Amino acid sequence: MLTLLNSNSLTITFFVTLSLSLFSALFMLHPRVPLKFVRFHVGIYGLSPLMSLLNLVTLKTNKIYGPWHLDPLAWLTALFVLTIGFVIQRYSIRYLLGDRNYRKYFALFTFTTGSASVAWLSDDLRWLMVFWGFTLLGITWLISLNKKWQAAKTAIARSGQWLTLSWLMMLLAIIWLAQATGHWQLSFVLAKDSLTNLGSWEKTGINLLMVFAVAIPAAQYPFQRWLLDSVVAPTPVSAVMHAGIVNAGGILLTRFAPLFSGDLAQIFLIVLSGFSVLLGTGMILVQVDYKRQLVGSTIAQMGFMLIQCALGAYLAAIIHAVLHGLFKSTLFLQAGSVVHHYKRTNPTTRHSPLIWNTAGGLLGLAVGFCYWINDNGTGHDFISALLLGWSVSIAWTQLVTSGHGHIGRIVGFSLIAGVTIVFNIIHAAFKDLLHGTVSEVVLPSATLLILVLFILLSGNAVVFWSTRHHSSTSFAALYLWLVRLSEPHPNSVESHPKFLVLSMSKGGNKK
């Protein structure tokens, strides 16, 4: 009884601290409040991720608390979203200082991440849709703050249209699901008795709506342009998109895993996401703008995360969503310092010894095989093992084989060993934490595995071919096609923002 009381107290305290941060954000909007209050607001906001961490650590069993579904996955997601929000707000104190919308940025950061965290804590599907709608609205408002810039206006229109369409498709899927099962509570909807009321065509229809609803925020093909347009927003806005928004698909499909697993919609998701993985990778290779390279990486990574969901590897998808969000947010916040790291180098051709290349291939094969055996040797684990072994082999080539001298190879090998140890620790921690909450519901069929292997091998074949046919017409056509798909809308690009020119000219006239 005492444990339950403490658990309820922590839950109430979490919502109290989150509410305080929202009130603080509203109070900060008043023009008479000094700007120094921003630091105080960020301190108040920092209590929310702390309370979500305490709830995650002390939670012993899954429980339904009113309209809230409080389990390790819910608290982990809230911790993830709010932590990224706190880091970005702390970073923005000096980064955005001097911007005319300085106060509004912090208020909208709080509103957006707070809504996202509450959405994933919801057991009532109606509350889920309300707070998820607030989250998408908050992101749209963040992009739209700089309305005097024509490029920003175009990004607002396109982003708002696609995100609204995503929300409406998810709303339609939720209403259809609730009407078919007779429940609005997620825990009741996903019960076996409720799911048996769904016909096969109803299940596929609902799942296809959900697939489109998650593919749009994840910027999967052909919806990638809205994320490319959004790079005109300040860097902290691009970073906060990775706080459970563009990577929300993994969380959402994991929540609805009993409904999604074993359905024909998985095949459609694999095809859509597989093509997006190849497209995003191609964008990285052809784009010269650093933020658009990061967007291309996000498209590819989100595609891979959705493939993991389609294969039933929901635990891997959650790990991917969290780690990718933390990593990519950091890269966006460091985008401004990239120019300082650029160094002009004279390219030299270095031929690596065959023994080092062979060692890398054998190491990747051994790591992948050990991973597959230790994880029961199931189908989706085979794909994960293949990709893991492939990654180790590539890392060996970049860090060890291409290392400068014995010292460089030793440092490269040490980095690979360190990353491997950290990966195993994180994987074991997540597996222990989410045991009983996130499970591999249905093993993938042979058709799904063959389809994923075909996509991976096709992409590898294209890369292998392109490296040997740089001067061919087909390579030029492929290159230009990737450039066209990776470019934002023409109206969302300006070589020099016109509103800055107007502001400078007005200032000069006043003087």
216-228 pLDDT per residue, tens: 999 898 888 888 8
- The answer as to whether 304 is a domain residue is yes
- The answer as to whether 402 is a domain residue is yes
- Token duo for residue 474: 């087909």
- Identify the residue whose tokens are 């998650």: 214
Q: Is the dihedral of CA 186, 188, 190, 194 positive or negative?
A: negative
Residues 422 and 450 in one domain: yes
User: SS3 of 438, please?
Assistant: coil
Range of the domain at 109: 1-123
| Geometric angle at alpha carbon 434, from 113 and 319, rounded to 5° | 60
Residue type for position 132: W
- The answer as to whether 131 is a domain residue is no
Residues 186 and 250 in one domain: yes
Residues 441 and 407 in one domain: yes
Residues 156 and 280 in one domain: yes
Residues 88 and 118 in one domain: yes
Burial of 73 (0-12, 13-18, 19+ CB in 10 A): buried
Task: With both helix axes pointing from N to C terminus, report the angle between 446-466 and 473-486 in degrees, rounded to the nearest 10.
Answer: 120
Residues 5 and 154 in one domain: no
Question: What pLDDT, on a 0 to 100 scale, did the predictor assign at position 351?
Answer: 47
How many CB atoms within 10 Å of residue 217?
28
Residues 445 and 479 in one domain: no
- Token duo for residue 315: 């635990």
Cis upstream peptide for 222 (omega within 30°): yes
Q: What is the share, in percent, of the chain residues with pLDDT greater than 70? A: 72
Residues 190 and 239 in one domain: yes
- The answer as to whether 395 is a domain residue is yes
Residues 455 and 480 in one domain: no
Q: Where are the beta strands (DSSP E) in 448-505?
A: none
Residues 368 and 511 in one domain: no
Instruction: Please count the structural domains in the chain.
Output: 3
Name the average pLDDT for the chain.
79
pLDDT digits (tens, 9 = 90+) for 68-87: 888 888 899 999 999 999 99
Q: How confident is the model at residue 130 (pLDDT cuts 50, 70, 90)?
A: very high
Residues 200 and 92 in one domain: no
- The answer as to whether 110 is a domain residue is yes
Instruction: List the one residue out of 140, 167, 168 whose CA is nearest residue 226.
Output: 140
- The answer as to whether 348 is a domain residue is no
- The answer as to whether 135 is a domain residue is no
Q: CB-hemisphere CA count at 13 Å for 98? A: 2
- Tell me how far the alpha carbon of residue 16 is from its chain's centroid: 28
- The answer as to whether 214 is a domain residue is yes
pLDDT digits (tens, 9 = 90+) for 235-252: 888 888 888 888 888 899
- Identify the residue whose tokens are 């650093």: 290
Residues 83 and 183 in one domain: no
55, 76 contact by CB (below 8 A): no
